[in-house]
């Protein structure tokens, strides 16, 4: 059974190691999520520590999926602090640990992330994903639109420069 929970900074802090495990597992599996060395646990922990701080300020919201008492997936909703961007939010770090994939967890997290954005009055969501990744099919099936792609955007774990696809979704 999968349970989805929104975590505050106070709730997330003691779960730093579990959050790091999910991201580290995804990087080790070749995910293009900002890191190229799964063995660099310190850098991954620093990333999550910074994100935990941003939860306290309200700049981000974090959803996690639990399976048998273990965090197996995450997604972040980031809010623009700029006056001309108050209507939009960015989806990031949709991560499902390789051992928990193909169970509909990513779809459930995305649905709840979209709901969080709606509750905050957002009318536009944006994200980027490595071009050609299976995540693109998920987003398209959830009514996201492709805005375009940027070639040679990010270095992969294999050392290759990959394109990224920028996507958006209008919220009602």
pTM of the model: 0.95
Pairing of β 145-155 and β 161-170: antiparallel
- Reported confidence tier of residue 116, pLDDT bands at 50, 70, 90: very high
Domains of the chain plus CATH, in order, are: 2-120 (3.40.630.30)
User: Tens of pLDDT along 1-50?
Assistant: 999 999 999 999 999 999 999 999 999 999 999 999 999 999 999 999 99
Rounded to an integer, what is the distance from CA 77 to the centroid of its chain?
A: 8
pLDDT > 90 fraction of the chain, expressed in percent and rounded: 94
């Amino acid at each position: 059974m999968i349970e989805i929970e929104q975590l505050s900074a106070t709730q997330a802090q003691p779960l730093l190691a579990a959050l790091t495990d999910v991201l580290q597992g995804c990087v080790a599996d070749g995910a293009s999520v900002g890191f190229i060395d799964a063995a660099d646990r310190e850098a991954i922990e620093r990333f999550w520590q910074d994100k935990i701080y941003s939860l306290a300020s309200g700049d981000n919201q974090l959803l996690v999926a639990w399976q048998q008492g273990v965090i197996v997936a995450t997604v972040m909703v980031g809010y623009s602090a700029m006056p001309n961007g108050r209507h939009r939010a960015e989806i990031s770090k949709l991560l499902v640990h390789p051992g928990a994939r193909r169970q509909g967890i990513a779809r459930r997290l995305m649905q709840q992330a979209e709901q969080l954005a709606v509750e905050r009055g957002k009318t536009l969501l944006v994200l980027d994903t490595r071009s050609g990744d299976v995540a693109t099919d998920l987003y398209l099936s959830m009514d996201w639109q492709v805005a375009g792609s940027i070639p040679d955007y990010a270095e992969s774990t294999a050392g290759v420069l990959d394109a990224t696809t920028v996507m958006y979704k209008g919220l009602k």
